[in-house]
Each structure stands twice: as C-alpha cells, then as structure tokens.
Amino acid sequence: MFAALDAFMIGANDVANSFATSVSSKSLTLKQACLAAMVMEFLGGVLVGARVADTIKNGVISSTLFQGNPGVQMLGFACALVSSSIWLTICTRFSWPVSTTYSIVSAVAGVGVALGGIDAPNWGWNGGKGIATIFAGFGIAPAISAAFGAIVYLLIKYVVLVRDNPTRWGLYTAPFFFFTLTAVLTLSIIYKGAPSLGLTSLEPNVMAAAVVGTAFFVKKDYTIRWYHFFLGPLLWRREAPTDSGHHNGPSAIPDYRVNRKNESEAPEPKTAEDTDVDSEKNSSHIAPQQANKRSPLSEQVEDPHPIEGSWIEPQNLWIIARYKAIPWLVTLFTHGTSVDIHDLQVQEGSKEASRMQEMYDRAKQYPNDTEHLYSFMQVMTACTASFAHGANDLSNAIGPFAVIYHVWKTGEIADKKSPVEIWNLVFGAVCLCIGLATYGYNIMRVLGNRITLHSPSRGFSMELGASITVILASQYGLPVSTTMCIIGSTIGVALCNGDWRATNWRAILWIFSGWVLTVPIVATGAGCLMAIILNAPHF
C-alpha cells in the first residue's frame, strides 16, 4: 500500500518537472503533456528502471545490519516507504516540489541508524553507491544542468534570436539543432536501454545509421495535418495556400506569448481573430479576476434534468445516476488534465501577480514564427526527460518494494544479486502514471512561469540541459534528483536574460528549503518508526 502511495506521489510531485516547461511555454496542453508523460514514464520505468534500483536497495545500508533476520529487513524497508510516502503526500498537498530521490535515500539511512547506530549507513563514496555519492548531486546536479542549459540557450540566442530576421536564421540552423538533438537522444536510448534489449551490442554501422537517419524540414502551411508526415520530402512539392504567411490569413502557428509587454517583434496588424485571441489572453493573464466573474443568473444555463420531488423516487434515482453521478465521476478523474495551469500560475489578485509581471518585463520575447521552430524539439526533449525520469526515479518506490517482495517470497535476505521482478516495475509505473494524471497539476503550477518567463526556445534549452544530466547519471547507476536538474537548468537559462531580476529567487529559495528539510524529517521519521516497532514488547 505504501509503495503504491510512494509511486503515486512520485508521479504527482516529480513527473511534473519533466513537462512543466512544455506546458508553461504553451508547446503542449496539460492533457497532451499528461498523455505523453504517461507513455514515456512507463517505458522508461519498465525497460530501464531496474538498473538504478540496485543503488537504492544495496548502496545506502549493508545487508549485514539485519543480522540474518529477513523479517527485520522487510520491516526496515517498509518503514522507509511509510516515512517517504507520507512526507511526499504532505509536500504535494501544499504544492512543494521536493526530491523524491532524497526522500527515499534519507528514509533508508534513518532505518540504518535505528539498526546499527550513526555509523551504520554508508556515508562515504562506497564505490560510487554510497550516500556521499548521492548527496553530491545536491550541488553538482543543479550546477551541471545550469551549465548545459545556458550553453544551449546562448547558442540559440546569439545564432538565431537576436539577429535580423531571426525566423530565417532559425530555418537555416534548425536542421543542425534537430540533428544534434536526435543524435544525442538516440545515443542516450541506445546506451540506456535495458540489458535484455542488447542495444549496446549493435554493430557500429547499424548504430551510426540509427543516429544519422533523421531529417527535418519546415513548411509554413496551415493546411498540413499530422498524417502528412508520411509524405516526407514530397511535401516540398505541395503548394501552400495563397493566403499562407499573410497577416490576414489563417496560421498554423500558435501564440506562445505569455507576456504582452517588452516584445522584440513589431506588432502585427490586428484581425478579428487576433482581437479575440488578445481578449482571451488579457482575460486570463493580465486581468484574470475579470475572467472569473460569474455571469448573471439570467445568463446561466438552466439544469436540463432537474430533480422534482423526493430523490428516492425511481425517476430521480435514474437522473442522479445518469446525469449527476457519472458526469461528476468523469470530472473527478479528468480534472487533473483539464485545469488551466497558466491561470494557476498568475495568482490573481495577489501581490505575487504584479511581481511576476515585473519579472516578465525583464525577459525579451521573440517572434512566434521563430519560437515555433523549437516547439517540436522541446516536446522531444521533454519526452526524453520523462523517459529518463522513469528510468531513474521509479526505483525510489520499487527498490524498497522489491526487497520486501523478495523477502516475503523466499524468506531470505535480499542481497545484490536479488532480481527485480518485471511486474514490480509495471506495478510502480502504473501507480506513477495515475498520480501524474490526477494530481500532477498541483506541482506543475508552481514551476514554469512562476520561476522565469518561458518560451519554446527557453524550454527546449532547459529540458535538454536537465535531461542530459539525468541520463548521464542513470547510465552510471547514480540516482539524481530530476527536480534539482530542471531547477538548475531553469536558473541557467534565466540568467541568460542578462538581468538577475528576471528570475524568481524567492520561489527558488522556497524549493531549496524543501530539499534541505526533506533529509532530517524523513530520516527521523523512518528511524523512529523502525526503532519503536523493533523494540516494542512482543511475544
């Protein structure tokens, strides 16, 4: 039960890190992000998750602490799951992004202290699997992610964004960025694949073909649909509509602007459609309090299925079941994918809203045409980050659970060679996906634009920097915090605006305090629970 709760809260608290930038920059809707994340998290967790489970399972405390008693080992990891899952539940309820990796590591360390004293946990490096290795990421992971994110964004900024006619330069350089991206992501998947897939044993020529077998082209045509992808380069022969690209014509490019001020692009002639879009944006971002006003009673739609008489009557029971209960259940289970993240990030009527507007004014926005070139690549990096997160952080719940299951099944202490059942990973991945779909929005709303102004080019740089860091760590079996990686990468990109006030340092300090408090709280909770149960009177 607590392993399921832990996996659920990992999905609700941690998975939002991978797609918060995509939703905040408007490259994806919340529903699209949830669907993509569920697929990628499941694949990453099931195919690759067992590799880092070993570090959580055996690298923090030694099996000798249990003195040959498998029941004590089962109890210890159960206490770790209880403490970790309860802390994650509290933090998620109050929209506090914390490190789920640090949570379970601290819990297992607390169990070790309860069993063998302060020297029991492997505080040192321990061949790359001790607590020192894991907590070294406390400063190293954000710094490396910030460096990667800043390098990528500065390259895009000075090669494309700040130049005259940036869209043209974006088109020139898009194949280079796309090829580099796909090459890096393909290699990461090859080298991170589960051992049973045998991807690392591919012939060099096959591996090279997989890496270079990519192509990218852009055609400004609002009539193109997703199924035209299969035409490939033949799309070049397809004539675009005569009104394509004109200000007064339809456009396939969405409006990525979060802030209506301080735009580097010249204002375009307004059309009726543009006026409608502006009014919608102004109502949801500049004056959200007006958008939330209730309409007069005369304008409200009457209930088409009113309940007349006693509710216990057969006709009313049918109305309640068919037209009240079922829609309520659908709304309940789909609410997590339908909320307005941008509206939640604005915090209407608060001092925070005006402070965020000042922060946005210090970051330039670039033409939608140019930003659109990086939207698809941002989604690709988000999916890769989600895959890496499933590979890394699913073990935070399934590592201890695998130990418990092994002891229950065999009656023997689990050691380094104890296998992780595939159904353990599937079980954890399903719980993780449910947590994301139902409650992930509560964490996503405090990330993204609440930290700095987002756009597809910025989000692409943030996610690529973070995903590279997480993937490298997973390759070496080192569980790092995706929260720390994406926050570090976000800070690195935000500093590239040239104004330190374009970053919400208050929000970052709040998140950082959660990372610090997680360690003593979870460790103390797990250690005390273990000591109380282990030393309680028993028969």
What is the per-residue pLDDT across 156-200, written as a single tens digit (0 to 9) for each?
999 988 888 888 888 888 788 777 777 766 666 665 544 444 555
Structure tokens at 439: 């409650």
**Does residue 514 lie within any of the structural domains?**
yes
Q: pLDDT digit string (tens) for 155-165?
A: 999 998 888 88
How far apart CA 418 and CA 403 sit, in angstroms, is 8
**What is the per-residue pLDDT for 333?**
72
pLDDT of residue 104 exceeding 70, the answer is yes
* 126-151: average pLDDT: 80
- C-alpha–C-alpha distance, residues 200 and 301, integer Å: 61
Cβ neighbours of residue 345 closer than 8 Å, sequence gap 6 or more: 24, 356, 445, 446, 448, 449, 450
Q: pLDDT digits over 366-420, tens only?
A: 888 888 888 888 888 888 778 877 876 788 888 889 889 989 998 888 876 667 7
Phi–psi pair at 340, nearest 5 degrees: -90, 100
Q: How far is CA 336 from the centre of its chain?
A: 14
Contact status, residue 445 vs residue 359, Cβ threshold 8 Å: no
pLDDT category at 521 given cuts 50, 70, 90 is: very high
Residue 274, Cα to own-chain centre: how many angstroms? 32
Residue 445 domain-assigned? yes
Look at the block and give the residue holding tokens 């979060």.
258
pLDDT surpasses 90 at 323: no
Lowest mean pLDDT among 15-19, 110-114, 159-163: 15-19
Angle at 157 between CA 152 and CA 162, to 5 degrees: 175
- Percentage of the chain beyond pLDDT 90 is 12
Q: Which two tokens stand for residue 246?
A: 């004109």
Is the pLDDT reported for residue 148 higher than 60?
A: yes
- The mean pLDDT value for 277-297 works out to 42
- What is the pLDDT at residue 86? 96
- Closest C-alpha among 393, 299, 514, 403 to residue 78: 403
What's the rounded Cα separation, in Å, for the pair 407 and 415?
A: 10
Determine the pLDDT at residue 260: 57
Name the residue among 251, 256, 252, 253 with its Cα closest to residue 26. Answer: 256
Say if residue 261's pLDDT is above 70.
Answer: no
In 10 A of CB 209, how many CB atoms?
Answer: 11
Q: Report the pLDDT value the prediction gives residue 244, as an integer from 0 to 100.
A: 55
| pLDDT (tens digit per residue) in 463-477 | 888 877 876 776 666
Q: Could you give phi then psi for residue 290, rounded to 5 degrees?
A: -75, -35
Task: Tell me what the mean pLDDT of segment 467-496 comes to.
Answer: 79
Q: According to the model, what pLDDT value does residue 525 have?
A: 96
- pLDDT of 269 reads 42
Instruction: List, in sequence order, the alpha helices (H) in 193-302.
Output: 204-212, 272-281, 288-291
For residue 141, the one-letter residue type is: A
pLDDT of res. 6: 93
Average pLDDT over residues 497-518: 86
Residue 14, domain member (yes or no): yes
Provide the residue range defining the domain that includes 494: 2-221+360-535
Q: Would 50 be classed as within a structural domain?
A: yes
Q: What is the pTM of this model?
A: 0.76
For the chain, the helix, strand and coil percentages under 3-state DSSP, each to the nearest 5 = 70, 0, 30
Q: What pLDDT is recorded for position 217? A: 46
Identify the pLDDT of residue 277: 44
Residue 126, phi-psi category: left (phi > 0), alpha (psi -120 to 50), beta (remainder): left
- What pLDDT sits at residue 529? 96
Which two three-digit tokens encode residue 140? 């190293």
Instruction: Please tell me the total count of domains within the chain.
Output: 1
pLDDT at 290: 40
Q: What does the pLDDT read at residue 29?
A: 83
Q: Of 390, 371, 459, nearest to 170 (Cα)?
A: 371
Is residue 234 situated within a structural domain? no
How far apart (Å, rounded) are the C-alpha atoms in residues 438 and 435?
5
- The 8 Å CB, 24+ separation contacts for 529-536 are 529/79, 529/82, 529/83, 530/75, 530/76, 530/79, 530/110, 530/111, 530/114, 530/115, 531/114, 533/75, 533/79, 534/72, 534/75, 534/114, 534/115
Q: Which of 260, 264, 496 is nearest to 364 (CA)?
A: 264
Q: Is residue 303 part of a domain?
A: no
Which residue type occupies 220? K
Integer CA distances (angstroms), 165 to 121, 174, 264, in order: 58, 14, 11
Question: pLDDT > 70: what percent of the chain?
Answer: 71
Among 163-167, 202-206, 268-272, 405-409, which stretch is predicted with the lowest mean pLDDT? 268-272
Range ranked top by mean pLDDT from 23-32, 75-84, 225-234, 490-499: 75-84
Classify residue 271: in a domain, yes or no.
Answer: no
Q: How many CB atoms lie within 10 A of CB 202?
A: 15
> Looking at the domain assignment, is residue 73 inside a domain?
yes
* Position 163, amino acid: R
